[in-house]
Amino acid sequence: MNLQSLLVSKDEQAVALLTPVLAGFGLGVQSCGYPDGICRLGEQKFDTVIVDYDDPHSAALVLQNAYQAASGNHAVTVALLSDKAKVRSVFGAGANFVLYKPVSEQHALATLRAATALIKRERRRSFRVPVQVPVQLRVQSGAQMEGILLDLSEDGLDVLAAQPLYPSASITTHFSLAAPDVEVEARGEVAWANPNGESGVRFLDLSENLRTNLRGWVAANAPELPPEDPEPVSQCRLTDLSLGGCYVETESPFPERSGIVLCLKAEDMEVQAEGMVRVMHPGFGMGIEFAARTDEQRTQVEGFINFLTGRPGTMPQLLITPRALAALNGHNYPTPEAEGPEDTLLELLRHHESLSQDEFLQELRKQRRSEEVASS
């Protein structure tokens, strides 16, 4: 897989350290200043863009151009930042990751390991196989219509519908695939739509069984091999857990709003939970909200908690794999109906923006002490 990175910085020390690290992850490197970087973003496609925030105005323009040049497949962005107090504003400007200056090799390796995993996952998500089969579509609260499936990936499809669809519309799709045979009935969201009826649809809440079958069909029918799946991040420690979310300490956290799959392994049991990163602390950890939108997902999360609470002192092995750069197309997860005790961890994850990293972690420690007192 040919991956390309753009490194926009005047800091010779940072460039000298990052260039071999990026090359070690299989990323070709183009290094330049701010004006040249903006020009290159308009002429070439890059999988990751790394920009130095020594000049905040120029850096913000680079991030803006990186987003606009992506054409639906967003580049993973990394900011080099000297002032840790500015981290929230840099995330707000569009950076997915942050490397604090002066950049250390250890921090660069950990951060770019997570970034590369996300790049590989985005490459796989955008990999589509041409196919023409009839498809039945039903827009939410609307009539059923016919269409033709144009291409398919494990995460979505392109379709030509009898009538134009509308971006963000919720639809249900039903179609059959052959060689191998797969019957697909799935809920989706229209990501983009043209007046002629052609639209891109992103699947929502696929069961793991259907996702596995789609992955197998794509691999069997692809004219070339699909991009490889990313390796999971394994150096993780679960420190806080509730029905709604968890906090994980790791040097390789994923970006806020990215979709992930968390796999818990201990003894002879394995539990998986899908989620979205709500808060990311560079080089330290991340807070994850579980995607308990379906009965299957809620059951997985409950099993996750019951497994741990039934084995006091158990230190599980955690594997975290990225699923998407933007979970649910950037929308908030649905708020579950109020039932049972208040989920203070989930509330903290959802309202972290006004807190610095130190303030957030201090609040986490307060919650742990309160739980210890309540359980004693």
Q: How is residue 366 written in tokens?
A: 């307060």
Q: Edge to edge, what strands does the sheet with 285-290 contain?
A: 237-241, 245-249, 285-290, 269-281, 259-266, 317-324
Amino acid sitting at position 331: H
Question: If pLDDT is split at 50, 70 and 90, which confidence band does 334 have?
Answer: low
Q: Which amino acid is at 336?
A: P
DSSP code of residue 232: P
Which CATH code fits 3-125? 3.40.50.2300
d(CA 117, CA 104): 20
Which CATH architecture is the domain 129-221 placed in?
A: Beta Barrel (2.40)
Two structure tokens written together for 131: 């196919």
pLDDT of residue 331: 43
**pLDDT given at position 292:** 73
Give 237-375's CATH code, choosing from 2.60.40, 1.10.3470, 2.40.10, 1.10.730.
2.40.10
Q: Provide the angle, in degrees to the nearest 10, between the axes of the packed helices 12-24 and 105-125.
A: 50
Do residues 116 and 229 lie in contact, with contact meaning Cβ atoms separated by under 8 Å?
Answer: no
Res 338: pLDDT: 43
Please determine, for residue 374, whether its predicted confidence score (pLDDT) is greater than 70: no
Both tokens assigned to 63: 């991030």
Domain residue limits, the chain: 3-125, 129-221, 237-375
pTM of the model: 0.83
Mean of pLDDT over the chain: 88
Q: Contact, 115 vs 76, CB < 8 A?
A: yes
Rounded to whole angstroms, the Cα distance separating 69 from 90 reads 19
CA-based nearest residue to 3, from 107, 94, 120: 120
pLDDT at 343 over 80: yes
Lowest mean pLDDT: which of 206-210, 274-278, 300-304, 338-342? 338-342
The first and second tokens of residue 373, run together, are 């007192």
At 12, the amino acid letter reads E
Q: Check if the beta carbon of residue 245 is closer than 8 Å to that of residue 324.
A: no
Distance CA 244, CA 260 (A): 15
Q: What is the pLDDT of residues 281-326, one digit of tens each?
A: 999 999 999 987 677 777 877 888 887 778 777 778 899 999 888 8
| Sheet order of strands, 76-81 included | 27-32, 3-8, 48-52, 76-81, 97-100
Question: Helical H runs in the chain?
Answer: 12-24, 34-43, 56-68, 87-92, 105-125, 208-221, 295-309, 344-350, 357-375
The answer to whether residues 158 and 188 touch, using CB atoms and an 8 Å cutoff, is: no
- Is 336 a residue whose pLDDT tops 70? no
**Which has the closest alpha carbon to 289: 330, 250, 257, 324?**
257
Q: Identical fold at 129-221 and 237-375?
A: yes
Chain segment 281-292, per-residue pLDDT in tens: 999 999 999 987
φ, ψ dihedrals at 277, nearest 5°: -75, 120
- pLDDT tens sequence across 15-60: 999 999 999 999 999 999 999 999 999 898 899 999 999 999 999 9
213-269 pLDDT, tens digit each:
998 999 899 888 777 778 888 889 999 988 889 999 999 999 999 999 998 887 777
Mean pLDDT of 333-358: 78
What is the rounded end-to-end Cα distance, in angstroms, of the chain?
54
